[in-house]
């Protein structure tokens, strides 16, 4: 029996949009400016979900800069964020086949939205650059809540903005690539889908089933097929 769905929510980086290439570019630029060797693309991708500080620390430690102060870390982090804001969407793109999912949902009149731990000013700018801002029905960022994911508060905020009562959370799918995404969605009572193609470190790869997602998709194509499967979900 298929499950009735009123809306679909996505995490942003590593789930709906592949933003890693822009982070790789910025870390490469910062490394070059300091006469350092940049970490590999794979190493940087694995740190994206951990945030700007984690990527900056990776760069420093990769170049044996281990005795840095908190002030130095904050300075590099701010430079990273400033460079990212200035050129936020050079190489970022919607993951293959997921544009088809967004279009299909829109054709069915099913709202889709984003619940992310990315700051609002960067999330809004990225969506605007990608011309997704007017299509996204709801955007919830850490700035909007007192407790970000893995707490369910952002999920409840998204439901409220969509006009869906908490009691109907089971009709809203949440897709994410981090354990905090699955924990937040599960805590809110939403069906959860793990985007295992996202920015997941190697040490977590063998534990994905333990995260408790209702579904695990290994590729964007698998996610698209699942979301558009009439045997699983009913959007009518």
Q: Cα separations (Å) of 23 from 68, 80, 190? A: 21, 9, 31
Cis status, amide bond into 150, omega within 30 of 0: yes
Catalytic residue among 13, 18, 177, 181: 13
143 annotated active-site: no
Q: Cα separations (Å) of 106 from 15, 84, 96, 102, 193? A: 19, 30, 17, 6, 20
Single out the residue of 172, 114, 190, 115 nearest to residue 145, CA to CA.
115
Contact 175, 8 (CB under 8 A): yes
Q: Six-digit token pair at 23?
A: 């982070």
Single out the residue of 155, 173, 170 nearest to residue 227, CA to CA.
173
Calpha distance 230→89 (Å, rounded): 34
13 annotated active-site: yes
Element housing 44 (H / E) = helix 41-45
Catalytic residues: 11, 13
């Amino acid at each position: 029996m298929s499950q009735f769905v009123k809306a679909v929510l996505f995490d942003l980086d590593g789930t709906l949009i592949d933003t890693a290439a822009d982070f790789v570019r910025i870390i490469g630029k910062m490394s070059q400016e300091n006469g350092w060797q940049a970490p590999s693309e794979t190493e940087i991708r694995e740190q994206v979900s951990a945030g700007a500080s984690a990527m900056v620390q990776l760069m420093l430690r990769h170049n044996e800069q281990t005795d840095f102060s908190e002030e130095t870390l904050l300075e590099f982090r701010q430079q990273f964020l400033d460079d990212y804001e200035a050129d936020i969407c050079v190489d970022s793109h919607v993951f293959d086949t997921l544009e088809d999912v967004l279009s299909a949902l829109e054709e069915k009149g099913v709202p889709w939205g984003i619940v992310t731990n990315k700051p609002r000013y960067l999330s809004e700018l990225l969506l605007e650059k990608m011309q997704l801002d007017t299509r996204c029905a709801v955007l919830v960022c850490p700035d909007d809540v007192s407790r970000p994911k893995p707490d369910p508060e952002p999920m409840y905020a998204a439901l409220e903005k969509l006009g869906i009562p908490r009691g109907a959370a089971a009709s809203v799918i949440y897709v994410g690539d981090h354990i905090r995404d699955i924990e937040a969605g599960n805590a809110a009572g939403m069906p959860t889908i793990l985007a295992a193609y996202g920015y997941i470190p190697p040490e977590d790869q063998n534990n994905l089933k333990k995260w408790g997602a209702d579904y695990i998709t290994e590729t964007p194509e698998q996610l698209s097929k699942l979301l558009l499967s009439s045997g699983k979900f009913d959007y009518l």
